[in-house]
Amino acid sequence: MGLPDETSSENGRSIEHAYKNLKKLQAKARKSNESRQSIDPKPVSASTKESAIKSSTISNCKVANKIKPSNILSSSTSESETETFDNESTNSSSSNYNKNKIKTSSSTIPKHKLIKHQYQQIIIKNDQDATLEIQKLSEQPAVIFSAIDALYKKHQEHKVHRFTEENREKHIANWKVTKYAEEKVAYGTNYFLKVFIGDGLYLHIRVHRHPNQDKYDFYALHETIKHNVATCVFTEDDPLTYFNY
């Protein structure tokens, strides 16, 4: 017998090696396909889609049945009632605004604007403090006589005869301050007094005290009946000075 052919044996080994490599490649491909199938979603059939749509429609109908027409009506009614209430409050506030306008010789000025503009630093005091303040002023006869003279001159056109030489001291003793405020200013202090003088009448006075000296200037307001106090304004020579009563 002759020697084995070396070439044929080498070919057999290479075929066997190639076969093993093929098996490995097939195994890798199989694993890759399996992993890809686990990630990718499965195709949804038409019947599955149809059943999902039906269930969604049924749930929407259940929610819609909970919303009754009466509920919708009541909610819209409450909104309209609120709107009407707001309109009424607006109308009432506008009517109050018109009532609260005060007239001066030059123009008609809304009361709230006048107060805000003129007296942001005013300190309102109670009646006891006000009475003490007017008593302090009363301790100086010259001041009181000046006040009475000023008030008398201002009210001559109203024929207020109670301010005469004979009875002015008597009337000063009977003054009752019902409202009082003071305003600190750079050139002194302003005192605002609403004084009850009897017979249902009030006097509205602004007293200006000069800084660092016992000098007072008096300004009288119009005399007014007790039921009409809120409409009182200063006289024409001092129209913008106003105290919120």
**Whole-number CA gyration radius for the chain:** 49
| CA 50 to centroid of chain Cα atoms | 56
Q: Where are the domains of the chain?
A: 1-37, 46-99, 108-231
Classify the phi-psi angles of 146: left when phi > 0, otherwise alpha if psi is within -120 to 50, otherwise beta.
alpha
pTM of the model: 0.29
Lookup: tokens for 57: 């429609």
Q: Which of 149, 174, 175 is nearest to 160 (CA)?
A: 149
pLDDT tens, the chain, 245 aa long: 445 555 556 666 777 777 787 888 888 888 777 766 655 555 556 666 566 555 554 444 444 444 443 433 333 333 333 333 333 333 443 444 333 333 333 334 333 333 332 333 334 444 454 445 555 544 444 444 455 555 555 545 444 444 455 555 555 556 666 666 667 777 777 777 666 666 666 666 666 777 776 666 655 544 333 333 333 333 333 333 333 33
